[in-house]
Structure 1
Amino acid sequence: MRQASLTDVAELAGVSHMTVSRVINGTGPVRPETRARVQAAIQELDYRPNSAARTLATGKSETLGVVALDSTLYGPASMLYGIEHAAREAGYAITISSVSRPQRQSISDAVEVLRRQAVEGILVIAPHVAAGRALEFTPRDVPLVAVGAAESAPVPVVTVDQHDGARRATEHLLALGHRTVWHIAGPEDWLEARAREQSWRETLEAHGIEAPTVLRGDWSPRSGYEAGRALIAGGDVTAVFVANDQMALGMLRAFTEAGVTVPHDVHVVGFDDVPEAAYFSPPLTTVRQDFIEVGRQAFELLLLRLRDEAEGVRRLITPELVVRESTGPR
């Protein structure tokens, strides 16, 4: 079946090509009753405007670029979903350029690919240390916003307040009467892991508690399992803050195999609130990150940048502690 053309819409609505173009592109005055006829014709014919022609007519592609890590990790993947959700609601298309390694050259190449596709602006998901450094070398002739980057980034940033989330998790465990809180941290080259670890230490120090030796994983359940076995071997562990829910899942498996019960023997708090967290055994107390809000604010900030506003803006999204059975009565 032939795809409907602009001519078909014009004939059905009884108007000129120029009038249809004005309605589609919003480039000129059209009477309300005429606009309604054109829109009805577009819907009836299921007409889809040619994006290239529309860009030539308006000078705007209504397409945004996203540089994303080629990762299935919940955090980066959810940030991308949040951005796509916000853009779709506003009528923008998204073009994604993925990088397998968050290095300066790979991110620069990804940005250049998007520039050649005439995107109006670019969002860079940059929760990695190397990605943050690469932002210092991005071109200044295209509006750019970083998502999940450090507050010190040279471009506007939207990120979840990792320090606040880790503080909430640690304070919650201390309020349950524990003398200290152990921590399974994420990889050192991830900004989120660094921020959560730093806040955990600072919270303990604020209570006059010396931080125990940190254990480190790679975000995976396997690494959480290994860290859990190490904690069991060390003994005298009653409370653990784990830097993400997937590592917490692995740690819970190690505890179960060793006969350590949660929450009777140990209280556990994770981070992220993955969809499965409520169905862990036991259901996991964790810190929820609102990635839909991150995407909405990142998109909003990029629109401001398109108008040459919001230079140097930093937006922090407040996380939420979700209390479940893993920190329940002992």
Structure 2
Amino acid sequence: MGPAQPPVTLEAVAARSGVSRSTVSRVVNGAQAVSPAAREAVERAIAELSYVPNQAARSLVRRQTKAIALVVPEDTSRFFGDPFFATVVSGVHRRLSQSDYVLNIFIATDDDGDKTTAYLRGGNVDGAIVISHHARDRFVDRIADALPVVFGGRPNRMRGTVGDYFVDIDNAEGARMATQYLIERGARRIATITGPQDMPAGLDRLTGFQEALRAADLPDTLIEIGDFSEHSGELAMERLLQRGGIDGLFVASDLMARGALRTLTSAGIMVPEDLPLVGFDDSSVATEVSPALTTVRQPSGLQGELIAQRLLEILAGESPEVETIVPAELIIRESA
């Protein structure tokens, strides 16, 4: 008799069927929020591979706790320092307060994500919401493999995004609108301070910026990368000033824009007289700074409500839209 064969895993079924592990998990656990085509592909792969579900895990998934986890893969300084998080959490709470579910918040990075993952996979919550995740946060994949999950923002998963539910703003279109506005004001050497390139929001806002400039046959290489924090905006602005010749600026978050404004003020550069500036978020920061920011509105409170609504629909056995995209809106104020 030869050695015992290792059990077939969810990963193997996902690879054979061409869908995400979270979709396979939903099929195995009897969830209804799966397209007929995906369900057929998974069931075919299960038969071909002779996959046997873990009955203990299935029983945990089916046990209702009436609790939902909100997972934020950021450090505490970022969570408490960025008004985006307060607004989106308020939206989530507002929607859940109308249901039977309670909200538990988990702040975790990949360094300590194992503890959070073990707790959430242990049957302590019915589903999870994940916001502000990076490519390095691989523990998020393990959560989404075991629980119904809705992402705030386009998913950034290592093994693909087929079947992952998310609610996002049209980041690329918002960046295009901001950049086009600067072009219409006569700017020709427009720079950007963009967000982290391991996050879909950072990638999409850079893409929109570059697309608008290429369409106008203008240079699209005046780029510095920040991390959505105020301090990173200061440092990125210092680097842009060293490059010189800038006559317009798009900053991919209001917090970074506040940092950029501080650097510009120290350098004696007036906004908008010397340099028109457009931010992104329309957070409370936009009206706290002087001049008040022209910015792209990200309706974070509405996003939070929609994220919670999608998860409630999944937990109720419904089949909501996989992708929910909120339109961007340019808000004109004093900075451009």
TM range (shorter): 0.7 to 0.9
Deviation at residue 126 of structure 1 after TM alignment = 4.2
Identical-residue share of aligned pairs (%):
31
In the alignment, the residues of structure 1 paired with residue 151 and residue 114 of structure 2 have an alpha-carbon distance, to the nearest angstrom, of: 14
Task: Work out whether 1:75 is the aligned partner of 2:99.
Answer: no
Which secondary structure does the structure 1 equivalent of 2:178 belong to?
helix
In the alignment, the residues of structure 1 paired with residue 144 and residue 197 of structure 2 have an alpha-carbon distance, to the nearest angstrom, of: 28
Give per-residue Cα distances to partners, 1:57-104, cap 9 Å, x unaligned: xx74332122123423333443333212221233421012220x2x3x
Task: Work out whether 1:119 is the aligned partner of 2:125.
Answer: yes
Match of residue 161 from structure 2: 153
In the alignment, the residues of structure 1 paired with residue 103 and residue 328 of structure 2 have an alpha-carbon distance, to the nearest angstrom, of: 26
Residue of structure 2 aligned with 1:97, choices 70, 82, 106? 106
Q: May I ask how many residue pairs the two structures share in their alignment?
A: 265
Match of residue 259 from structure 1: 268
In the alignment, the residues of structure 2 paired with residue 67 and residue 75 of structure 1 have an alpha-carbon distance, to the nearest angstrom, of: 14
Deviation at residue 299 of structure 1 after TM alignment = 1.2
Match of residue 62 from structure 1: 66
Deviation at residue 266 of structure 1 after TM alignment = 0.7
Deviation at residue 286 of structure 1 after TM alignment = 0.9
Q: When the two structures are superposed, what TM-score results if normalisation uses the length of structure 2?
A: 0.71
Deviation at residue 249 of structure 1 after TM alignment = 1.1
Q: Is the 8 A contact 1:86 1:299 kept in 2?
A: yes
Deviation at residue 113 of structure 1 after TM alignment = 1.0
Q: Is the 8 A contact 1:86 1:292 kept in 2?
A: no
Match of residue 95 from structure 2: 86
Deviation at residue 245 of structure 1 after TM alignment = 1.1
RCO comparison, higher one (Cα < 8 Å, 6+): 2
Q: Is the 8 A contact 1:158 1:317 kept in 2?
A: yes
Match of residue 217 from structure 2: 208
In structure 2, the CA distance between the partners of 1:140 and 1:186, relative to structure 1 (3 Å rule), is: closer
Q: Is the 8 A contact 2:83 2:284 kept in 1?
A: no
Which secondary structure does the structure 2 equivalent of 1:66 belong to?
strand
User: Structure 2 matches for 1:214-233, cutoff 5 A?
Assistant: 214-233=223-242
In the alignment, the residues of structure 2 paired with residue 311 and residue 86 of structure 1 have an alpha-carbon distance, to the nearest angstrom, of: 16
Deviation at residue 261 of structure 1 after TM alignment = 0.8
In structure 2, the CA distance between the partners of 1:121 and 1:239, relative to structure 1 (3 Å rule), is: same
Residue of structure 1 aligned with 2:135, choices 112, 117, 129? 129
User: Structure 2 matches for 1:3-82, cutoff 5 A?
Assistant: 60-69=64-73, 70=75, 71-72=79-80, 73-82=82-91
In structure 2, the CA distance between the partners of 1:218 and 1:122, relative to structure 1 (3 Å rule), is: closer
Aligned-residue RMSD, C-alpha: 2.4
Q: Is the 8 A contact 1:135 1:153 kept in 2?
A: no
User: Structure 2 matches for 1:240-319, cutoff 5 A?
Assistant: 240-310=249-319, 313-319=322-328
Deviation at residue 264 of structure 1 after TM alignment = 0.8
In structure 2, the CA distance between the partners of 1:207 and 1:215, relative to structure 1 (3 Å rule), is: same
Q: Is the 8 A contact 1:111 1:122 kept in 2?
A: no
Q: Is the 8 A contact 2:222 2:240 kept in 1?
A: no
Listed as ranges, the gaps of 5+ residues in structure 2 are 1-62
Deviation at residue 220 of structure 1 after TM alignment = 2.5
In structure 2, the CA distance between the partners of 1:141 and 1:227, relative to structure 1 (3 Å rule), is: closer
Q: When the two structures are superposed, what TM-score results if normalisation uses the length of structure 1?
A: 0.73
In structure 2, the CA distance between the partners of 1:76 and 1:189, relative to structure 1 (3 Å rule), is: farther
Letter in 1 for 2:154: A
In the alignment, the residues of structure 2 paired with residue 142 and residue 312 of structure 1 have an alpha-carbon distance, to the nearest angstrom, of: 18
Larger Cα-atom Rg: 1
Match of residue 16 from structure 2: none
